[in-house]
Amino acid sequence: MRRTLAPALASLALLSAGSAHGVETVKIGAALSMTGAGAPYGPNQRAGLQLAVDEINKGGSLKGIQLELVVEDDGSTKEQAINVYQRFINRDKVSVIVGPTLSTMATAADPIAQGSKVPVLAVSNTAAGITEIGDHIWRDSLTEKQVIPGALRRAQAKLGFKTAAVFYGNDDVFTKAGYDVMKASLETMGVRILGTQTFAKPDRDFTPQLTELKGLKPDVLVVSALADNASAIVSQARQLGYTGPIVGGNGFNSPAFVKNAGPAAEGVLVGTAWNRASTDPVNVKFIEAMKARGVNPDQFAAQAYTGGLVIAEAIRQAGMKGGREDILAGLAKVKSLDTPLGKFSFTPGRDADHEPALQVVKDGAFAIVQ
């Protein structure tokens, strides 16, 4: 009997030792739009974040720590985003939250995390005021104010426009923020705004507004819209006979926009936080790894992947500790991190700090304007 029990007891002792000195699991909660208005972005965000987590775990750079990704659909609604945050915080006990996909959701859900002292890393929120919610809110996505002015200046240098018509979604924090920056930038550049029209996310027929704007004969049409609306707006503008240039806001930065707009998307200019053409080894490796998983990466995938790298670096900077306050302290020390977005740091206000670029739709795909 003793001979039979001895191996079992030895195994039990080994298991106990392994548990005592086992690997610590750090949970990352990701609230991403898999359905609703943000659905063109969510799946690529999940793919980018999952790639980062898998590479970090496989590489073993976080000695004694394994990352666990918990993904839930924020539904592109404030109510669902709030519920997801509450589950992450109270049920899943995550150390950090990534998301939600859209700024409108962030304005509702981030205060929940701030109140519970759980750090949030936004990877696609670009509206003003997100990080001002509190000291636990960070983002690796450039704001509209960081991207749009430069994009419009480069577009003007390329096209020489002097007048513009503006079209924007007035029922979404993100698209409204984009409009505010577009208007201010155009005025600063001395571009005369001939007219402005608005729409709402549920709208599908934009003919009345576009007809009005086309009749003003602007040199350029500037649009702030989410991808689903953006593709319909561009398509209908071309169908109405508008042949001039179109400059889009950050919501255009999705392969879904190009695919759904088809030939009408050709020539559309968009400011971007990610230079796909960068030959930096980190970017090249990221693109190759994403394609190996069957995903054509976009800006949203690149920002989500970078989010994973930033969280891992925060854990390192915290002395290989993955608690909520540890990660918060570590985020403040992230500086000049190599990512697909370039050398990444945070501003004193916890916003992203790296160089934006301008891209154009050419032959059915985005290409960087040199």
> Please, which pLDDT band fits residue 355 given cuts at 50, 70 and 90?
confident
225 and 134 inside one domain? no
Q: Is residue 367 part of a domain?
A: no
Domain-ending residue, one of 233, 254, 272: 272
Query: Which position has the higher pLDDT, 306 or 15?
Result: 306
258 and 287 inside one domain? no
Domain-ending residue, one of 241, 272, 303: 272
**pLDDT at residue number 21:** 52
Q: What order of strands is seen across the sheet that includes strand 96-98?
A: 65-73, 24-32, 96-98, 120-122, 137-139
116 and 158 inside one domain? no
Domain-ending residue, one of 226, 256, 272: 272
**Residue 162: which domain range?**
145-272
- Among the residue ranges 11-25, 245-259, 268-282, the one predicted with the least confidence is 11-25
Mean of per-residue pLDDT scores for the chain? 93
Q: What percent of the chain has pLDDT over 70?
A: 94
Residues 79, 60: Cα–Cα separation, whole Å: 37
Read off the pTM.
0.84
Query: Which position has the higher pLDDT, 269 or 144?
Result: 269
For residue 143, give Cα distances in angstroms to 22, 130, 176, 273. 40, 10, 13, 9
What's the CATH code of the domain at 111? 3.40.50.2300
Number of domains in the chain: 2
Average of per-residue pLDDT across 121-150: 95
pLDDT tens digits, residue range 83-92? 999 999 999 9
Token pair, residue 312, equals: 């891992």
Q: Is residue 369 part of a domain?
A: no
**Scanning the structure block, which residue is given the tokens 């926009």?**
257
Residues 126, 103: Cα–Cα separation, whole Å: 7
The DSSP 8-state label assigned to residue 348 in this structure reads T
> Please, which pLDDT band fits residue 35 given cuts at 50, 70 and 90?
very high
